[in-house]
Chains A and B, each alone.
Chain A
Amino acid sequence: MTYRFDFSWIGDYLPVLLKGVGITVELILVGALLGVALGTLCAWVRALGPLWLRPVVGAYVELIRNTPFLIQLFFIFFGLPSLGVQMSELQAANLAMIVNLGAYSCEIVRAGIQATPRGQFEAGASLGMSPVQTFWHVVLVPSLQRIWPALSSQIVIVMLGSAAVSQIAAEDLTFAANFIQSRNFRAFEAYLVSTVIYLVLAILLRQMLRGAGAVLFPRRRAAR
């Protein structure tokens, strides 16, 4: 191999890289929290909610899960202004990630809810719990515990997919890498550095989610 690596630019572009990392982290934190909240709500509707609302949520889930994230992002950023809905690129990126993760996590959480044996609902009722108490303590928390690994994976996938937001000039980590290589033409180095940062971010995120799982679901038993 005759390629000569040159990383002397890192000092100059460190602020750009750090800003990119900050925005990627912000996007995934907001996206994961609100996206999973939205997904859980949708899962409740699809599994147990009012009958008239189920097809509405079903349509949302199928629409989002069967179209590319990039198109959803362009629709929100370039399309909605025609209807008078103007958003900054960061708001559009956040919204797209919430809506996207909402649809995927809906199906994951719903799987957990529907895996709850019918008898557990009846057991909750027979203990004198209200339907809300039953849903929370008997259905939702054990469901989340069951599907936590799958949900964690989906969150990491969405974090990596956030690279697409650079296309609407949101200045995330991918934007930083593109920006740097368009200035100094060290494409190999710029993408190498961003690859390493994404890898570290993804590993950290997985560890955080694993830790969060251990805190949120302390009664976790061995899988049966």
Chain B
Amino acid sequence: MKRRQFIALAAAGGLALLAAGPACADALADIESAKTIRIAVPQDFPPFGSVGADMKPAGYDVDMANLIGEKLGVKVELVPVTSANRIPYLQTNKVDLVISSLGKNPDREKVIDFSDAYAPFFNGVFGPDDITAEKPEDLAGKTIGVTRGAVEDLELTKIAPPSAEIKRYEDNNGTISAFLSGQVELVATGNVVAAAILAKNPPKKPNVKFLIKNSPCYIGLNKNEPVLLEKVNTIIAEAKKSGELNAIARKWLGADLPAEF
């Protein structure tokens, strides 16, 4: 056999092995035999995952990853990812799970599987306790601050009654300042932004009034891994029941998990 042919054949064989690898293996068995689970976490998306002053990743997703490792009784290897490369990391089998504030959508569902939701992520209207607003109609006559062009701006513009005054600011900081300085009564923003305001312990607390758009976070894993998927879902369900998940939510989002969660 000529050398060139041999290399080509070997390469093709290797590729075939690689392609077949993740599809036929049982990922949970692999994890248990390696005593290590590799989990993709964000490093630039507080409060879900960011690198702290001690240079260690910390956040909601990191705590969730450690919780899963603890329940499985294996060591956790955190793999920092960006929002662009988190799914390719999973597909190329560089990680076993993606816990990276991942939202569900049909395109993603074609290529990977999703667990049950593990973290709340929503846009809503927030405001102090002395204002009641349970639905869009209640916004009549009120002033609401939003960040111009954000999802909540577009949605609120559609659903708010005409007498509601929507004040559009350039960025989240402008929206937050307007709320804290009393220039607007309510804000429409993400629960993560509201949590960032709450963390500063302001005199006016942005508590959730109603949801505009709900897109909770799911754990991503490779397709055809029913054993691992079921195990992960069991862990999430037990963590919800035991209050461990709620403790993580209180720690990083400053609020209890929503009732419907």
Contacts and interface: CB of A to CB of B under 8 A. Distances in A.
A183 B178 CA distance: 22
A182 interface: yes
Interface in A175-189: 175, 178-179, 182-183
B148 interface: yes
Interface in A154-204: 166-169, 175, 178-179, 182-183
Interface residue SS majority, chain A? helix
B32 interface: no
A179 B183 contact: no
Interface residues of A, number: 17
A82 B181 contact: yes
B158 to A, nearest CB: 12
A78 B181 CA distance: 6
Interface string A100-121: 0000000000000000000000
A179 B177 contact: no
B167 A183 contact: no
B149 interface: yes
Given A178-B148, A179-B168, A169 B178 contact: yes
A162 to B, nearest CB: 16
A78 B178 CA distance: 7
A78 B149 CA distance: 21
Contacts of B183: 77-78, 81, 86, 89, 168
Nearest to A79: B181
B182 A86 contact: yes
Interface size class of B (residues with CB under 8 A): 10 to 19
Contacts of B168: 169, 175, 179
Nearest to B157: A183
Contact of B148 (A74, A79, A89, A182): A182
A204 B57 CA distance: 58
Contacts of A167: 169-170, 174
Contacts of A183: 149, 154
Contacts of B169: 167-169
B187 to A, nearest CB: 12
Contacts of A79: 181
A179 B168 CA distance: 9
Given A167-B170, A169-B168, A78 B148 contact: no
Interface in B97-154: 145, 148-149, 153-154
B52 to A, nearest CB: 30
Contacts of B174: 167-169
A112 B186 CA distance: 50
A81 B181 contact: yes
B150 to A, nearest CB: 9
B182 A81 contact: yes
Interface of B: 145, 148-149, 153-154, 167-170, 174, 177-178, 181-183
In the A-B complex, the 6 residue pairs with the closest CB atoms: A182-B149, A81-B181, A169-B167, A78-B177, A78-B181, A81-B182
Given A78-B177, A168-B174, A168-B178, 15 more contacts: A78-B183, A81-B181, A81-B183, A86-B182, A89-B183, A168-B169, A168-B183, A169-B167, A169-B168, A175-B168, A178-B170, A179-B168, A182-B149, A183-B149, A183-B154
9 contacts: A77-B183, A78-B178, A82-B181, A167-B170, A168-B183, A169-B167, A169-B178, A179-B168, A182-B148
Interface of A: 74, 77-79, 81-82, 86, 89, 166-169, 175, 178-179, 182-183
